[in-house]
């Protein structure tokens, strides 16, 4: 449907599964840029449209690499940047031309915001009927939801996640990452790919809408199911699980190790590894339901056994036995462990002095993700994109 941006850069051809797909990215911050980076890694040609001052995350620092926000760097590789002032008639005309040529448009303005510039779904679809138009908001496009600004922290609180996070006797905590921004970005990606598949058979585009609160309620899985199907109000349990035991970090001789027994077989194996096989034959702990109900009796018995060795030694024994569980690492230690087991979590992006970046988590045997461009500087591709938009479509 669309023509890719013509340049002399040899890396344009990705050979990825989305090669030839043109994405007009009017999003900013996290959810939208994360979605478009996933699409770009899979071969899509993503044009990142920024305002004159750039994506907000360019200023979200520290930490930095070479003076650039690592927050921005983490979600904007494989894209080209053009700065357009949508309040300027010339720039707005270029933005509309990009929307007319795109296969996908993604935006996360407050609902109704794109209509001010004639870039809303209905207007774009009138001249580009095949457009897959994705909108990400905080609370949806209803009259009440549209009035609310959408920030991940708000949604963590309103969805109930914070009521589940933290010490049972302490205050509620946010998750350590903007978990629902990331989740909404993934949901948007799924919706976009679903709409593209529908377009292959129908020739028609459609409007994909994702909001953080709906993503949050879906992502709360067993807890939201407990609320709507079980008439239960889940509550904060620290690191404990409401429906499984053991399933939490427990102290060892020198730290903590995560201990998991998801079924009776794993519990028997855990008892063998810990040197207390008789515990698996104890009628009090014969099923997960019984172990969970009697966690206060079982937990000190496991802690006593774990005191015999340190966390590293137990982790080695768990791994040797095929038993789930592991240490509580820092993020750098987590990256190092992924390297140790051969996952190659770090890729080099860009030419000259490549930038290290976290690998796309998707593995495809025939059309793998590619890492073609480092995250662009603001308006880096101004000349080539403007020239292309000003030229003929053929």
The catalytic residues are 181
The dihedrals phi and psi of 88, each to the nearest 5 degrees, come to: -100, 130
Dist CA 33 CA 55 (whole Å): 10
Question: Which one-letter DSSP state was computed for residue 3?
Answer: P
For tokens 């994705």, the residue is 134
CA 374 to chain CA centroid, nearest Å: 19
The dihedrals phi and psi of 380, each to the nearest 5 degrees, come to: -60, -35
Extract the tokens encoding 334.
């987590």
Question: Which one-letter DSSP state was computed for residue 354?
Answer: P
Extract the tokens encoding 131.
């457009």
3-state secondary structure of 313: helix
CB-based contact 239:166 (threshold 8 Å): no
Nearest Cα to 161, choosing from 148, 145, 180, 189? 180
| 247 membership: H or E segment, kind and range | strand 247-251
Helix-helix angle 212-219:152-159, to 10 degrees: 50
* Residues written for the chain: 394
Q: CB count, 10 Å around CB of 68? A: 15
3-state secondary structure of 82: strand
Nearest Cα to 79, choosing from 380, 386, 393? 380
Q: CB count, 10 Å around CB of 296? A: 8
CB-based contact 353:363 (threshold 8 Å): no
Dist CA 222 CA 234 (whole Å): 9
Dist CA 253 CA 317 (whole Å): 15
3-state secondary structure of 260: strand
């Amino acid at each position: 449907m669309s023509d890719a941006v013509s340049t002399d850069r040899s890396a344009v051809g990705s050979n990825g599964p989305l090669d030839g797909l043109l994405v007009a990215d009017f999003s900013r911050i996290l959810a939208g840029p994360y979605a478009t980076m996933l699409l770009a890694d899979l071969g899509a040609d993503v044009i990142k449209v920024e305002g004159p001052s750039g994506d907000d995350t360019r200023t979200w620092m520290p930490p930095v690499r070479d003076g650039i926000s690592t927050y921005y760097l983490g979600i904007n590789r494989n894209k080209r940047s053009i700065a357009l002032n949508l309040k300027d008639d010339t720039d707005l005309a270029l933005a509309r031309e990009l929307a007319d040529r795109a296969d996908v448009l993604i935006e996360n303005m407050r609902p109704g915001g794109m209509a001010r510039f004639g870039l809303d779904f209905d207007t774009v679809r009138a001249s580009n009927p095949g457009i897959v138009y994705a909108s990400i908001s905080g609370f949806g496009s209803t009259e009440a939801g549209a009035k609310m600004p959408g920030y991940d922290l708000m949604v963590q609180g309103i969805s109930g996640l914070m009521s589940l996070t933290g010490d049972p006797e302490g205050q509620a905590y946010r998750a350590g990452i903007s978990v629902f921004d990331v989740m909404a970005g993934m949901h948007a990606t799924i919706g976009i790919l679903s709409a593209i598949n529908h377009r292959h058979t129908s020739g028609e585009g459609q409007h994909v809408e994702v909001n953080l609160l709906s993503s949050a309620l879906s992502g709360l899985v067993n807890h939201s199911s407990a609320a709507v199907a079980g008439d239960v109000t889940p509550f904060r349990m620290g690191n404990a699980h409401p429906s499984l035991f053991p399933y939490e970090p427990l102290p060892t001789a020198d730290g903590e190790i995560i201990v998991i027994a998801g079924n009776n077989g794993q519990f028997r194996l855990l008892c063998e590894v810990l040197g207390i096989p008789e515990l698996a034959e104890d009628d009090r702990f014969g099923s997960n339901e019984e172990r969970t109900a009697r966690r206060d009796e079982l937990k000190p018995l496991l802690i006593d056994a774990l005191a015999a060795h340190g966390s590293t030694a137990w982790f080695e024994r768990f791994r040797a036995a095929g038993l789930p569980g592991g240490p509580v690492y820092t993020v750098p230690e987590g990256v190092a462990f992924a390297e140790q087991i051969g996952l190659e979590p770090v890729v080099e992006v860009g030419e000259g002095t490549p930038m290290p970046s976290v690998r796309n988590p998707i593995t495809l045997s025939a059309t793998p993700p590619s890492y073609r461009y480092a995250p662009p500087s603001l308006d880096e591709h101004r000349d080539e994109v403007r020239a292309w938009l000003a030229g003929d479509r053929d």
